[in-house]
Amino acid sequence: MNGNQQRPQRPKRDPEEDNDLTVSRVLRNVLIWVGILVSLVMVGMLMSNGQRQEFPLTFNEYMEVVKSNRVQYATITKTQLNDFEFHGTLKEAITIQRDNRTVDVKNFRTKLGVVDSQTEALWREHGIGWSYESGDSPWWVSIVQLLPWALLLIAFFFVSRRMQMGAGGGKNIFSFGRSKARLLTEGNMQINFTDVAGADEAKEELREIVEFLRDPSRFTRLGGKIPRGVLLLGPPGTGKTLLARAVAGEAGVPFFTISGADFVEMFVGVGASRVRDLFENAKKQAPCIVFIDEIDAVGRHRGAGLGGGHDEREQTLNQLLVEMDGFEQNSGIIIIAATNRPDVLDPALLRPGRFDRQVVVDRPDMLGRLGILRVHTRKVPISKDVNLEIIAKGTPGMSGADLANLVNEAALLAARRNSMDVTMFDFENAKDKVLMGVERKSMVMSDKEKETTAYHEIGHALAGKLLKHGDAVHKVTIIPRGRALGVTSYLPNEEMHTMSREQLETRLVTLLAGRAAERVVFDQLNTGASNDLERATTITKKMVCEFGMSDVIGPVRYASQHDEVFLGREISQPRDHSEETARAIDGEVRRIIVDSEARAIQLMRDNIELLHRCSKALIEREILDSEELDVLIRGEELAPMIKDVASFREKMRTSTQAPSPEPSKGPDPGTEGLALSPS
């Protein structure tokens, strides 16, 4: 499928047709409920006005009430046995003792053998009026009597059908075992590889899947077998689901999509039944693709947690394992699954024959971010001053979803200004909003608190600027953003996949420099450095226990296992070191942090004049970028503040900027989340 090919458009629906459908739906519902009400009324009338309640009398009792002139009127009917029944109505109710109970009788019936002229003479003698009626009701009477029950049956049928229809329109509540997978065909798949950027390696791995689905004989004639399953691994927002949909769009085959959570229900056996139903439907559409999003919801390690785990979830996983690689080969069915928790998946799910390939979809590098920005700005009117390369360099560690959110925020900010296009000014503000949080302009800070925050943030910034291995400072602000009173944002100087001991020690000094600036200037401590201490302690513990960067502890890993319950591990983990080693670790962690703080304090004292000058400028302007900090460090005067789009464009045009450093791919696994330094 060519990306430039004209794709089929979904036919537009006529608004009048939609109105007609709505009206017809309302009328149908009204008629159903009217039928139900009519049926109930007719049944009630029949029950209340049907045959009158008659008390059976013996022949002797019948003769007694007749001869005592108590009978007012009678109806004589003939039974199927050619006997006659006397249905009489008394002038006044009488009391009869029957089976040790007292009964008030107004209407009665008595069986008579034969009615002859003598019997009629008796009735005539005692003033009884009578009439003969047929014992068999007319045919139309039977129909009338059955009509309410028929209406009730029809109403029950419609009500049960409505109850069986779920909110999704067509999901039967009685069909628990049916798969909830949605089938996408070539006509409604609008995504291909041209819509995916920043994952070139993953696309190359998946192109082979596409080629197999297009021409299987190309691989099978040489005895090769296509991978039965592909597992997409990566952090949230990196485009795993988008890649799977692009594979289906490129191959032009049916595409089943379902979430891992859709398999598991509260009823036992439902998940396994849905797995069987999913693969049965997939076999009918083969060759096809089955995409299971967030497979960790159903594919977690078996036997996890208390009591051996969740039996229903394990049954579902067992059925999935059998369907993927059982005795029956599912030829033409390719399973693509996505997860951001590969560590909790069951090993049987990851072996060859099930998920043969594991494709890592990581956060994009600078070129990948540039491609993603170009994809997301296709339909956004951007100004000529927008340089996507600069934006890509200034957004290290962002995923595809983060960049899409950045473009959207820039468009919203431009719309807020009633602008006809999105400018570089909007992108910069959107980047600050995404990286540092939303400005809380309504929050009022006292002058003392603002001064303390300014010295704190300038302490972070100067450490990043003056130290050899410090990260390049991007921006410093004392405007409250998010949950922080002030924020210092960094952009690392180069692409880093590992960090040296010197770099980590420099990062510790940078984190503690804000607290050190407060001690040097004000000779006091406050609560603003709690986040800095937390992150510094985390880094230090990893240096000592995981990275082997302590001369006292040595090259031994003492990392504690803190696996959560129900994630494939035991509820408790035994400590793998002695109490003496634990005390040594605690002492070494404290020593490294204290030494780092001492270095930070000495750095602030050596540059006290620069600290005062930069803090004063930050209090006046509230925001300082990297170039303005460099001007202050050189002892020069700052340029006028940028307050609007025109000033920003003039600065971008006239400034002689040094080449922008290549930002890093993001924080390494051991120091994740250290790109910002909020206070």
**Which token pair is 495?**
């692409």
CA angle 222, 228, 229 (to 5 degrees): 140
Phi/psi of residue 462, each to 5°?
-65, -40
**8 Å CB contact between 590 and 567:** no
| Among the listed residues 82, 93, 86, the one whose alpha carbon sits nearest the alpha carbon of residue 63 | 86
Query: Within 13 Å and on the Cβ side, how many CA atoms surround 621?
Result: 21
Q: Which residue's structure tokens are 């009884």?
A: 128
Q: Indicate the helix (H) or strand (E) that contains 26.
A: helix 15-49
**8 Å CB contact between 244 and 338:** yes
Specify the 3-state DSSP secondary structure of 13: coil
Q: Indicate the helix (H) or strand (E) that contains 255.
A: strand 255-259
Q: Which residue's structure tokens are 């400028």?
A: 617
Task: Report the chain's terminal Cα–Cα distance, integer Å.
Answer: 52
**8 Å CB contact between 370 and 396:** no
Active-site position among 85, 205, 451, 457: 457
Q: Is 580 a catalytic residue?
A: no
CA angle 377, 379, 385 (to 5 degrees): 50
How far apart are the C-alpha atoms of 644 and 423, rounded to whole Å?
A: 11
- Between strands 71-78 and 129-133, the pairing is parallel
* Burial class (CB within 10 angstroms; exposed 0-12, middle 13-18, buried 19+) of 580: exposed
Exposure string (b/e) for 120-151, b if CB count within 10 Å is 16 or more? eeebeeeebebeeeeeeeeeeeeeeeeebeeb
Centroid of chain to Cα 650: 44
DSSP letters for 593-626: HHHHHHHHHHHHHHTHHHHHHHHHHHHHHSEEEH
**8 Å CB contact between 400 and 237:** yes
Q: In what order do the strands lie in the sheet with 101-112?
A: 55-56, 101-112, 84-98, 71-78, 129-133
CA distances from 63 to 78, 110, 147, 243, 592 (A): 19, 10, 40, 96, 118
How far apart are the C-alpha atoms of 486 and 476, rounded to whole Å?
A: 8
The residue length of the chain stands at 679
Q: Hey, which residues are catalytic here?
A: 457
